[in-house]
Amino acid sequence: MTPSVTGLKLKQGSRVLEVQFDNGDHFVLACELLRVCSPSAEVHGHGKPVLVTNKREVNIVKIEPVGNYAVKLVFDDGHDSGLYSWKVLHEMGRNQEALWADYLARLKAAKASREPMIPLKVQFFDPDQS
């Protein structure tokens, strides 16, 4: 039987979500891990997971309860389609080292980055304006 969540504490400054379960388990999950391993169809695709990149600084902006079995996490990049059931959160907590190692390996294989995309403001030099 999956333990139930008895406490959620979002620490936006350190970008982590602390999750406490009724069996005594306690996990600290990085917002980045929660985002890149989202249980949403958008991330999992149709049987082939999509590699989510550039999320090192992603944060959770809102936690919405879904019945008494899950929460919907709203991220500051607009992602909000994954339902994090108590089972999903518990499994992520128990397996976060393996999930993280797999994610880093997939990033490396794809030559992708965790670093956020930086919007560039390009200014062109106009020789007639000098």
DSSP assignment string, 87-101: HHHHHHHHTHHHHHH
User: What CATH number is associated with residue 60?
Assistant: 3.30.2020.30
The pLDDT value recorded for residue 41 is 74
Task: Tell me the torsion sign for CA atoms 26, 31, 37, 43.
Answer: positive
The confidence score (pLDDT) of residue 130 equals 52
Task: Assign 82 a pLDDT band (cuts: 50, 70, 90).
Answer: confident
Query: How does residue 98 score in pLDDT terms, banded at 50, 70 and 90?
Result: very high
pLDDT band for position 40 (50/70/90)? Answer: confident
103-125 per-position pLDDT tens digit: 999 999 999 999 987 665 555 66
The tally of domains found in the chain comes to 1
* Of 73 and 124, the one with more pLDDT: 73
- pTM, rounded to two decimals: 0.86
Domain that holds residue 47: 5-129
Residue 32 · residue 55 · CB < 8 Å: yes
